[in-house]
């Protein structure tokens, strides 16, 4: 059994996972604007509460898996870069924290890569070797796998910055500093700001909503709100362009779609995949699209998989004879 913790922008999700099954889970508010380090003691208490509720203890756990937003150095087990939240966590000694808090070894990974591994190991893309993941959450997260290996790059940022691919060179400036990023044009955090400046917004049902995002747009569009329909059409153009960019970059056989937007997958998936073959250069056919069935647990499953694999690798290294070294 492994302890898994997923630091999201809104909630911190915590689970006990064994062999691809989530035995117990809970969540606590992230309060990400106030930093991460102040939340670690509460995360520790939540882990102990889960264990007590499951009738288990730390002695039954192999290790801790921690998924983090931003650019993660998995070798040094730390966060090296992030924008706009948890900035106090850069360079923090997570392995030391896990050892002190739980007496267990630690694996760390970027949250989107963790979710991709969870879907490939146990979920909607099980057994696939060439895949990309797009998470439509507060922002837009991505990850990629090619020939069975997660794409990382020299500086640990390859594959995970798909939300910062440009879909409009004259578009809104993103929090990352680049104008026209997919995330700045069409993510949950950016849509209300952008929509409020468009003609027709004041007359839309959306103008009377508070804290609205993906779900409210789809609902209003289905109810015949003309502004919401135009907005949704525009968002689909950006989402589709981002997906095509990922297909061109990583040549996947499957595209995994995840996050809150996929609550409306029955409405949106046909429109997202429409005209794909006309938009993408595909010499061999077209990738298969799948939807994550439980986005809340993808990263937890992926981190448990990484912990077990890391420990198995350490055992194999210890057991190698000098002749095999």
Question: H/E/C letters for each residue in 55-112?
Answer: CCCHHHCCCEEEEECCEEECCCCEEEECCCCCHHHECCCHHHHHHHHHCCCEEEEEHH
With respect to residue 247, please indicate whether it lies within any of the assigned structural domains: yes
What is the percent of the chain where pLDDT is above 90? 81
Write the CB contacts of 220 (distance below 8 Å, at least 6 apart in sequence): 204, 205, 206, 227, 228
Average pLDDT over residues 222-230: 95
Beta-carbon contacts of 22 under 8 Å, excluding residues fewer than 6 positions away, are 15, 16, 297, 300, 301
Domain count, the chain: 2
DSSP assignment, residue 166? B
Rounded CA separation 292/314 (Å): 31
Domain identity same for 287 and 299: no
Write down the residue that tokens 């288990």 correspond to.
56
CATH code of the domain containing 191: 3.30.420.40
Confidence (pLDDT) at 324 = 36
Q: Are residues 142 and 282 in the same domain?
A: yes
Q: What whole-number distance in Å separates Cα of residue 141 and Cα of residue 111? A: 8
Report the alpha-carbon distance of residue 271 to residue 300 in Å, rounded: 30
At residue 216, does pLDDT exceed 50? yes
Residue 196 lies in a domain: yes
Q: Which residue has the higher pLDDT, 276 or 236?
A: 236
Residue among 137, 156, 1, 9 at smallest CA distance from 78: 156
Average pLDDT value for residue range 5-24: 93
305/267 same-domain check: no
Q: Does a structural domain hold residue 115?
A: no
Q: Which of 80-84, 118-122, 320-324 has the lowest mean pLDDT?
A: 320-324
Q: Please tell me the pTM assigned to this model.
A: 0.92
Q: What is the mean pLDDT of residues 186-215?
A: 92
Domain membership flag for residue 32: yes
**pLDDT for residue 323:** 40
Q: Give the closest residue to 36 by CA, choosing from 47, 28, 26.
A: 28
Is residue 70 domain-resident?
yes
- Cα–Cα dist 52/223, whole Å: 47
Are 101 and 16 found together in one domain? yes
Look at residue 118 and tell me if it is in a domain.
no
Same domain for 219 and 174? yes
Of the candidates 153, 156, 176, the one whose C-alpha atom is nearest the C-alpha of residue 165 is 176
- What is the per-residue pLDDT for 203? 94
29 with 97, same domain: the answer is yes
| Residue 116 included in any domain | no
- Domain hosting 204: range is 124-291
| Whether residue 45 is found in the same domain as residue 11 | yes
pLDDT in tens, 54-66: 999 999 999 999 9
Residue 36 has pLDDT above 90, yes or no: yes
Domain match, 152 and 255 both: yes
Query: What is the pLDDT, as a whole number, of residue 313?
Result: 78
Q: Are both 266 and 306 inside the same structural domain?
A: no
- pLDDT band for 127, please (50, 70, 90 cuts): very high
Q: Is residue 325 part of a domain?
A: no
If asked whether residues 177 and 243 sit together in one domain, one would say yes
Strand order across the beta sheet in which 64-68 lies: 21-29, 11-18, 2-7, 64-68, 106-110
Mean predicted lDDT score pLDDT of the chain:
92
Are residues 130 and 269 part of one domain? yes
Say whether both 278 and 132 belong to one domain: yes
| Cα-to-chain-centroid distance, residue 49 | 25
Q: What are phi and psi of 155, to 5 degrees?
A: -115, 25
């Amino acid at each position: 059994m492994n302890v898994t913790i997923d630091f999201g922008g809104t909630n911190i999700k915590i689970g006990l996972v064994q062999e691809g099954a989530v035995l117990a889970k809970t969540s606590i508010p992230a309060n990400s604007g106030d930093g991460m380090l102040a939340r670690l003691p509460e995360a520790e208490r939540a882990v102990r509460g889960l264990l007590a509720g499951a009738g288990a203890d730390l002695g039954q756990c192999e290790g801790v898996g921690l998924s983090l937003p931003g650019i993660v150095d998995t070798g040094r087990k730390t966060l090296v870069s992030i924008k706009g939240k948890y900035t106090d966590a850069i360079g923090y000694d997570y392995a030391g924290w896990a050892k002190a808090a739980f007496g267990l070894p630690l694996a760390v990974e970027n949250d989107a890569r963790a979710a991709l591994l969870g879907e490939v190991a146990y979920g909607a893309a099980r057994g696939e070797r060439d895949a990309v993941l797009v998470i439509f959450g507060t922002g837009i997260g991505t990850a990629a796998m090619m020939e069975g290996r997660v794409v990382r790059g020299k500086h640990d940022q390859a594959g995970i910055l798909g939300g910062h691919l440009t879909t409009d060179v004259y578009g809104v400036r993103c929090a990352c500093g680049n104008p026209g990023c997919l995330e700045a044009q069409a993510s949950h955090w950016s849509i209300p700001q952008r929509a409020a400046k468009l003609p027709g917004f004041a007359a839309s049902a959306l103008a009377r909503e508070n804290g609205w995002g993906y779900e409210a747009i789809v609902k209003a569009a289905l109810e015949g709100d003309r502004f919401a329909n135009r907005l949704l059409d525009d968002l689909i153009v950006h989402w589709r362009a981002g997906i095509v960019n990922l297909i061109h970059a990583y040549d996947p056989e499957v595209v995994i779609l995840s996050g809150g937007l996929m609550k409306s997958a029955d409405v949106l998936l046909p429109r997202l995949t429409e005209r794909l073959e006309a938009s993408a250069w595909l010499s061999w056919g077209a990738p298969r699209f799948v939807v994550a069935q439980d986005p809340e647990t993808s990263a937890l499953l992926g981190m448990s998989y990484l912990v077990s694999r890391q420990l198995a690798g350490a055992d194999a290294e210890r057991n190698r004879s000098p002749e095999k070294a």
